[in-house]
Amino acid sequence: VQPGGTAYLAINGNGLGHAQRVANIASLIDPAVRQKIFCFNSCVPFLTERGFDVAPLVSRPVGKVDNNIELLNFGRMAEGARGFDRFVFDGGYPYDSVVGFLQQFSGRKIWVRRGLWKAVQDNSEPKARAKFFDLIVRPGEFFEELNGSDESFSKEMSVGPVVNMTYERERNAEPRTPGNGRQIKILSMLGSGFIKDRNDVLQAICQYCERRSDVRHVSVIGPQTRLDASTYRNTTFVATNDGTRLILDSDIVITAAGYNTFGDCMYYRKPAIFLPQQADWLDDQALRAESARARGLAELVPEGDVLGLLKAIGSFCDNGVDEYASAFKALELPEPGNRRIAEIIMEDQCSAR
């Protein structure tokens, strides 16, 4: 193992989004290079399964600043990153512990920060803290109108979208046609439940699937799921860190429109019914979902429209995938940015080009 190496910090709330992006990038770095990922406990199993050296931090209370936790996490990063010469932060906002660490870290400092922030969101404080980084790397969206829709930072470099490329060989498989005894495979991934309680939505999906013998429903459950799995014959509840695998094995995906899951659906050419999540700190999921709907790749159901959701599921089950498959075949997607970010991390000079 070479001396030096790269330490990462993936700041997550209750999901895996930032940790997934870090894993997708770090997996392309030469194995001879030492790597360590700082993260909250919720991401430790996922990153450990991917084979990374993980250093857990103490989670912050939602919506609150705890100075004791900030000080503790600063100490853990300062001690754990000794001997590393590169630091990569993936998160929306560098908290005080991160800024304190950056000020005493002598190596290269890169901030991977996706865009598509809403116009009403105040980016002034993140911009003020960007000065502690040598470079801001912005992973792109899959559709050009979504790039540059919010204000850019100085020292910013834009690259292609970051996506899970683990199953690259299966990417261009022909869509399977339901019928002739083959059940339609529906996958629902409704989130952890911390942003929005979607148990009523999940219940409606399960009940709809119970009425159809040609459907098999798999649902990725979160810590807030309260439904009893034994109630349903046509639904299987699973807990997994590999949602991409399930997306590949499905015919249609019902999900929010977060960066990673949206990217999986587009990259692996899976039609989706998007249920965008809304919160002050989230990116513009509705705009992202609309871009796919306008291209005939997905349906968009507004928050609370359960009847509209069931109608969209029924339309897919009755009409099949042909129209979606044709739209995907005509689609030209940008090259993923995973490898370019990995190259940037390993470059000797951190300068935008």
Per-chain mean pLDDT for the chain: 89
Tell how many helices (H) and how many strands (E) occur in the chain: 12, 13
What DSSP string describes 262-287?
Answer: HHHHHHTT--EEE-----TTS--HHH
162: pLDDT strictly greater than 90 = yes
In angstroms, the CA 111 to CA 8 distance is 10
pLDDT computed for residue 181 by the predictor: 62
CB 87 within 8 A of CB 107: yes
DSSP E strands in the chain: the ranges are 2-10, 33-40, 54-57, 86-90, 108-112, 135-139, 156-159, 184-189, 215-220, 235-238, 252-255, 272-274, 298-300
CB 54 within 8 A of CB 44: yes
Quick one: what percent of the chain has pLDDT higher than 90? Answer: 70
What value does the mean pLDDT take over residues 301-324?
93
What value does the mean pLDDT take over residues 116-133?
86
What value does the mean pLDDT take over residues 80-105?
95
270: pLDDT strictly greater than 60 = yes
Quick one: what percent of the chain has pLDDT higher than 70? Answer: 91
Question: Which tokens sit at 292?
Answer: 């796919």
Location of structure tokens 């609370």: 304
Predicted confidence band of residue 353 (pLDDT cuts 50, 70, 90): very low
347: pLDDT strictly greater than 80 = yes
In angstroms, the CA 248 to CA 250 distance is 6
CB 345 within 8 A of CB 90: no
pLDDT computed for residue 282 by the predictor: 83
| Residue 166: count of CB within 10 angstroms of its CB | 15
**59: closest CA among 32, 95, 17?**
95
Phi, psi of 189 (to 5 degrees): -135, 90
pLDDT computed for residue 151 by the predictor: 60
DSSP letter, residue 172: T
In angstroms, the CA 309 to CA 190 distance is 13
Count CA atoms closer than 13 A to 181's CA, side-chain side: 0
Q: Distance of alpha carbon 331 from its chain centroid, rounded?
A: 22
Element housing 207 (H / E): helix 199-210
In angstroms, the CA 328 to CA 75 distance is 48
CB 21 within 8 A of CB 90: yes
CB 91 within 8 A of CB 73: no
In angstroms, the CA 89 to CA 22 distance is 9
CB 337 within 8 A of CB 139: yes
Higher pLDDT, 291 or 41: 291
| Residue 296: count of CB within 10 angstroms of its CB | 15
Q: Distance of alpha carbon 193 from its chain centroid, rounded?
A: 15
